[in-house]
Amino acid sequence: MIRFLLLRNVPRKAAEQQQPERVLLRFPRLYEIFKDIKVMVCYVAVLFFFISVSAFGAQELDCDREVPDDLYELKENHIPVEFHHEPFSMEIVDLGMLVLLMSVATWFSIKHKPSSWLSFLMLAGLLYFGFFRGGCICPVGATTNFCIGLAAPELIGRVVAILFLLPLLFAYFAGRVFCSSGCPLGALQHLLARKKSVQLPARINSVVRLLPIALLFATAWGALRGGLFIACKMDVYKWLFFTGYAWIDQLMLWVKGALVESRIIFVGDVVAWTVLGCVLVLGYFVPRPFCRLVCPYGVLLGTVSTLGLRNREIDPSACMNCKMCEKKCPVQAIHSDPTGKLVSVSDFHCIQCGRCDDVCRKSGLRG
Amino acid sequence: MGQSRRNFIRISGHVAGGLGLTALAARIFSPPAEDAEFIPQNRRFAWQINPDKCRNCNACEIACVRKPSAAKALNDPKKCSNCVVCYGHIKNKHIESDKIDSHGERICPYNAVLRKNFCGGIDGMYLYSHNHAKCTGCAKCVKKCNEEGTGSMFMVIRPDLCLGCNECAIAVACPHDAVERIPREPVDDFKGIYGLEDAYWMEEMG
């Protein structure tokens, strides 16, 4: 405080230096001291005032009610209300279910069973992974999660990494069976598609096929750069899965007698549901639009299955070039050369759905 | 000759692809770095609100893909001062004690803040809690409680209601970066570590 007062004196001293002849006081020093003491007394008084006021205020703010013993005991013995995630065992069940579905699909596919058998498998996968687990096995999300995991392994769970790697392993040995059994997105599109599908013109199809590859790089870049889920935003079916999941969750809570929210849950807004409706209508005519236009995981699966051990082929001796399989294929993986003599299956795009087995009268599909 | 060359290329492709995938898998399953913020313990991750960073805007209610939102308000009963007039409960605070239940203008638009007398009659101790069936996570009560009251209320994302999106819409929308991706743990109505100044009843503990 003394330092503060000294600082305050500086401008007055400067004024004295400017006009020294006018200041003629008898006891200048005494006057100065007296004035300083006056200021000091003022400061001290103000300080005391504030201290007393703040102490008084603090007394008022403090809750001076005594805590009764029973409330004190209640607070001491309070058992926290806990909300749990689903148990870790559910994730093991997920893994088991995925392995089971893909194994059965592999068996069906190798034995060339009718495609309706695989449709039941897809239905099971859709109901379990899509609606019961809320679209948990999302190929798009798995890709992004894996990319994030490459940047920082502690940021993703290992179950997610296994969920990402398992279909790749199956794709190496048996082709893309994940697409026709475990994937809820693929199952939804496959089941809601017309049997007599519209085939895209070859030139458009060859361009459109490049989109997932571009999106795979975009997804990896976005995930590694800043944890962006670029491809997740293009997944329009998630609103359906989330809504179904929330409804099943609420139903189970209602059975238990716990929380029931007063409003009907609809995940997503009007725009999202409109887009979903449009894509579903598109998917009725052009089968699997998401798989063919967007899915970045399909590119990885296709690459692995191209390298892989099992290749679906058409027996040239049995084939009679009716091209029924080419018209029926939902992903346009079968193509014939312009002369129409040689019909071949692209391992990259074939999803092992078995529709070509249905229509081939000579049972000409091998592998 | 052509056949064997093709075979060689094919096998080398297999080996290269397998090695690449193995390397990626090894990277994923490698132990976390020493300066990692947490150790994952083989669990999956979930998004949760950090109460220290949360400023109780209503972004959770608006942004959450689930309607009503999975973000709900909770009251920490250990921290709560059990006031007669709760800032998170009513707006018109200058009101007679016996008219609070009947004439108090509620902060919550859905009347989800529950008030229950514990002891001491009409001017005694009251217990406050939230009815999650009505709560939409608008955080109005939490904001009032933190600005004017004890600060015992806080927001959580209820894990049993959360849909578990890969990219949490709340985390994208949150203006304070309060929504963090953390290992899954049960969520309870315990706000955090208490300081001595936080609750008057802690003074009795010494």
Sorted by sequence, the CB contacts under 8 Å of residue B110 that are 6+ apart come out as B134, B135, B136
What pLDDT is stored for residue A6 in this prediction? 38
Element holding B194 (H helix, E strand)? none
Given CB atoms, is B9 within the 8 Å cutoff of chain A? no
Contact: B165, A67; criterion CB under 8 Å: no
The Cα of B106 is separated from the nearest Cα of chain A by a number of Å equal to 19
pLDDT digits (tens, 9 = 90+) for A270-310: 899 999 999 999 999 998 999 999 899 999 999 999 888 88
Given CB atoms, is B167 within the 8 Å cutoff of chain A? yes
The type of residue at B159 is P
pLDDT digits (tens, 9 = 90+) for A69-88: 888 888 888 888 888 888 88
Beta bridge pairs of residue B156: B72
Given CB atoms, is B194 within the 8 Å cutoff of chain A? no
Given CB atoms, is B114 within the 8 Å cutoff of chain A? no
- Find, among A340, A113, A144, the residue nearest to B45 by Cα: A144
Given CB atoms, is B121 within the 8 Å cutoff of chain A? no
Beta strands (DSSP E) in A198-312 are none
The Cα of A84 is separated from the nearest Cα of chain B by a number of Å equal to 5
Nearest to B66 among A141, A159, A265 (CB): A265
Nearest to B188 among A81, A145, A261 (CB): A81
Residue A110 sits at the vertex; the CA angle it makes with A105 and A114, to the nearest 5 degrees, is 70
The CA distance from A141 to A293, in Å, is 16
Sorted by sequence, the CB contacts under 8 Å of residue B170 that are 6+ apart come out as B47, B49, B59, B60, B63, B64, B69, B71, B157, B179
Q: What is the pLDDT along chain B (206 residues), one digit of tens a residue?
A: 568 888 888 888 888 888 988 888 888 887 766 666 655 555 567 888 988 888 988 888 989 888 888 899 999 888 888 888 888 899 988 888 888 888 889 999 998 999 988 887 888 888 999 998 888 889 999 999 988 888 889 999 998 888 888 888 898 899 988 888 887 788 888 887 655 444 455 455 44
The CA distance from B67 to A174, in Å, is 42
- Total count of residues recorded for chain A: 367
Nearest to B28 among A149, A239, A303 (CB): A149
The CA distance from A343 to A330, in Å, is 16
Per the structure block, which two tokens stand in for B60?
Answer: 């959770």
Contact: A80, B190; criterion CB under 8 Å: yes
Segment 12-41 of chain B within 8 Å of chain A by CB? 13-14, 17, 21, 24-25, 27-33, 36-40
ipTM > 0.90, yes or no: no
Instruction: Tally A–B CB contacts below 8 A.
Output: 156
Output the pTM of the full model. Answer: 0.79
The Cα of B5 is separated from the nearest Cα of chain A by a number of Å equal to 16
What pLDDT is stored for residue B71 in this prediction? 92
User: Mean pLDDT in each 10-residue stretch from start to end of chain A (367 residues)?
Assistant: 38 49 53 70 85 66 66 83 84 91 93 90 92 80 84 78 90 91 91 87 90 92 82 86 89 82 81 93 91 91 89 84 85 81 85 87 80
What pLDDT is stored for residue A19 in this prediction? 52
Beta bridge pairs of residue B153: B75
